[in-house]
Each structure stands twice: as structure tokens, then as C-alpha cells.
Amino acid sequence: MNYKPLKICPVSDLCGGCQLQHLAYDRQLEYKLNTARKNLGSFGNVEEIVGADYPYFYRNKVQISFGTDYKGRVLAGNYVPSTHTIVPVKECQLASKSANAIFNTVISLQKSLKLSVFDEHSLQGFLRHVLVRTSRDEEKVMVVIVAGSPVFPKKTGFINALLKKHPNISTIVLNVNKKHISMILGERNIVLYGRGYIEDELCGYTFRISPSSFYQINHAQTEKLYKLAREYAGLKKNDIVMDTYCGIGTIGMTMAESCQKVLAVEINKDAIRDAVKNAKINRIENIEFFCDDASRFMVNMAEKKQKVDVVIMDPPRSGSTEKFLKALVKLSPERVVYVSCNPVTQKRDLKYLTKFGYEVRKIKAVDMFPFTDHVETVVSLSRK
């Protein structure tokens, strides 16, 4: 460890952001390795966890929410877990430094410009959340103002003040979300400044990211995660690879040069639009994207008897589906690499795959989210 641990965050007991704030970083790694072993140990040895070199200020996507207290005073910060009560946070130790600084500016602009704050009960008012995405070096920043109305009062004053204070902002988007839902982003984006997306560099490639597209939130650890996934995939020049739950195409694109072709599927249409663009930017021609439900896509591929050598799967926390796994078994790729952010659902899915013709070769955890209790694991399987 060649950094000085920060003081414990003063709001960590209330704020839901870091469940492991009170554990030293090496103890956090032990805890996560144990969680991985508890869930996946029955399939084989879980190797040493890949920790972060520096576990603070890593989140490249962060948001804060606005609301009012019982006296009607404006509050801005994170929600107390399972509630919509807001805990003000001055400096979040997980958020990028740019995000912390921009949040403080937006909070003071809300006051000075007297912008109204969205009320979740009456569905009235303007400012609801602010989301900030930063590129790896924080030279490019996207600010998404999530509001209850497309009409932005004092818009010019707000934008000018924000840009003046934070010249690294490359784009500002107004996202309209008037619905009574817990999702942060609504469907409508209005670009107020710049291009409406940011570009980032990862594993030597350039990726464009729109407001609602999924993108791994920890650059340094993602590069280690993808390297591990590539290693586990054991690619050969003639391999046909499927990148399922592909987001903006990051895993597939970093594998494309080592195989014959990549077929990638993702359900979010903005992410697929980014993915297609990203393949062009990086001049990758042997990758094809499909905007579809991954399970339906796999069933279609199995019916078409598509030849496939390696399937990469990186589903959301809920894991994959039996439909997907059944079709995967039918497609019968020689190797499967399963990247997961939830070892509980991964265990469930591995039980299926090991029952129907696959064996687990290697298991490793990567700490993508220091100070939180989230555990990311990568498992390599091969056909028996």
C-alpha cells in the first residue's frame, strides 16, 4: 500500500454509498474474497482477488439527488438506503474529484439562481438529480441535469457559470424525468452544450458513451477485469466469439483483433448506437451488433445453428435466464467466460451450466468497487 488512507467519511453511517467504510482496504479485499469463495468455492478454487492500487475517487459516474427536508429546506446528496431521505455529502471519497467539485457548484447555483427542486409527491418543480461522468484523466466531463420539466429557468446563466468554473466540462445534457419512478434518468435528453456524449479511452480504444449507456465505473480495475476475461477466453485466430450483455461493446471490441468475428448483443438501444459508432471510431470491422434481449438472441442463434467458439456473458445483477442458458448449451461453445457483479445469481447460473455439460476451469474476483460490498467475479468454463 503506497498511499495514506483517508479519514473515515463523516456521513458513512447514514449514506448508503460505502458499506465497508470502516474496514481497512486489505480487510475489504479479504471480505470480498470470502464472499466469492462462499458462493463459488464449490465449483473450484477462487484465486486471489485483484485489488485496486488506489481505492479512492474512482467512480467515473456519480449522481446526487435534490429534495427538501420537513421544513421545506433544500437538501442535496445521497439517499439513505431504501428511503428517499437525502444525506448531504460534501466530498464523496468514491466519486471522481471533478464530480465532487461540480456537485458543489450546482448546489450553490441552485441557491443563487433560486431554481426550484423537484417534489416526488406532487411531481412539480425542476431540479431532481445531477449525474456526472468523467473520462479517465478527468479532462472530459459530461453533466446531466435531470429535471421534472424541459423548461430550464435561467438556463444561460446556469450553463455559463458552470462552464466558467469547470472548463473540463465537454457536454451538458438536460434529461427530463417527471415520472414517479426510482430510475434516475428519464427518456428524453436535450443537449444544452457540446455533443451530448463523452469519449473515453479504455484498453487503448476510444469509446463514446451516451447518458443512459452502461459503462464500467472504475477505469483502472476495468482494464484488469477485461485483461482477465481475455486471458480466460483463450482466443484463437479463427474463433467466433459472442459478447452478450455487451453494453457499448467494450469487451467484444477489446477481443476482436484476436479472433475471426465477434457477435455482440445488448438490449439498450442507445448503448447499441454507441457500440456501432465505437466500432467505426476504432476501425474494427469484424464485430456485429444486435439490439435484442440476450435470451431471445441466443435462442435464435441456437435455432440457426450458429457456429460459436466462445461466449462471453456479463449480465446485470439479476444474472442470466434459464432460456439463455438452455440456448447456450444448445449452441455448445467450447469456452464460456462469465463476468458477474453478483456471485449469488452467478452461482445459480453456474449450477445449470455445470449440470449440462460444462466444467469450471478458473475463478477470480476483481475489486471493481472499493469501500462497497459489491463483488465482481470472472469464471472460465469449458465444454466437458
- Apex 257 CA angle, 324 and 298, nearest 5: 10
- The grid coordinates of residue 72 equal 421545506
**Sole binder of ligand SAH in the list 314, 349, 367, 376 (CB under 6 A):** 314
Site for ligand SAH in 177-236 (CB under 6 A): 214-216
Q: Give strand ranges (E) for 156-197.
A: 169-176, 188-193
Cβ-based nearer residue to ligand SAH, 87 or 366: 366
Cβ-based nearer residue to ligand SAH, 40 or 251: 251
- The grid coordinates of residue 298 equal 441466443
Active site residue 291: no
Cβ at position 112, least distance to ligand SAH in Å: 37
Q: Residues near 75 by Cβ (< 8 Å), separated by ≥ 6?
A: 66, 67, 68, 69, 86, 88
Given the rule CB under 6 A, which of 3-11, 105-113, 259-267, 365-373 is the region that contacts ligand SAH?
Answer: 259-267
Cβ at position 216, least distance to ligand SAH in Å: 5
**Sole binder of ligand SAH in the list 17, 55, 247, 370 (CB under 6 A):** 247
Instruction: Report if residue 342 touches ligand SAH, rule: CB under 6 A.
Output: no
Instruction: Report if residue 316 touches ligand SAH, rule: CB under 6 A.
Output: yes
Phi first, then psi: give them for residue 182, nearest 5 degrees.
-90, -5
Instruction: Report if residue 301 touches ligand SAH, rule: CB under 6 A.
Output: no
Instruction: Report if residue 269 touches ligand SAH, rule: CB under 6 A.
Output: no
Given the rule CB under 6 A, which of 84-92, 179-187, 263-271, 371-379 is the region that contacts ligand SAH?
Answer: 263-271
Cβ at position 312, least distance to ligand SAH in Å: 8
Site for ligand SAH in 165-184 (CB under 6 A): none
Rounded CA-CA distance 147/131 in Å is 11
**Sole binder of ligand SAH in the list 14, 113, 240, 267 (CB under 6 A):** 267
Decide: residue 365, CB within 10 A, 0-12 exposed, 13-18 middle, 19+ buried. buried
**Sole binder of ligand SAH in the list 99, 173, 198, 246 (CB under 6 A):** 246
Rounded CA-CA distance 253/259 in Å is 10
Instruction: Report if residue 293 touches ligand SAH, rule: CB under 6 A.
Output: yes
Instruction: Report if residue 266 touches ligand SAH, rule: CB under 6 A.
Output: yes
Q: How many residues interact with ligand SAH (rule CB under 6 A)?
A: 17
Instruction: Report if residue 251 touches ligand SAH, rule: CB under 6 A.
Output: yes
Cβ at position 224, least distance to ligand SAH in Å: 13
Cβ at position 153, least distance to ligand SAH in Å: 33
15, 18, 92, 341: the active-site residue? 341
111, containing H or E segment: helix 97-112
Cβ count near 346 (within 10 Å) = 28
**Helix runs in 234-268, H state only:** 250-256
Radius of gyration of the chain (CA): 22
Instruction: Please spell the DSSP secondary structure of 66-88, one letter per residue.
Output: EEE-TTS-EEEEEEPTTS--EEE
Rounded CA-CA distance 356/344 in Å is 19
Instruction: Report if residue 43 touches ligand SAH, rule: CB under 6 A.
Output: no
Rounded CA-CA distance 246/214 in Å is 9
Q: Please compute, for residue 194, the number of CA atoms within 13 A of its CA located in the half-sphere on the CB side.
A: 21
How remote is the C-alpha of 331 from its chain's centroid?
A: 28
Which positions are annotated as active-site residues?
A: 341
Binding site for ligand SAH (CB under 6 A): 214-216, 245-247, 250-251, 265-268, 271, 293-294, 314, 316
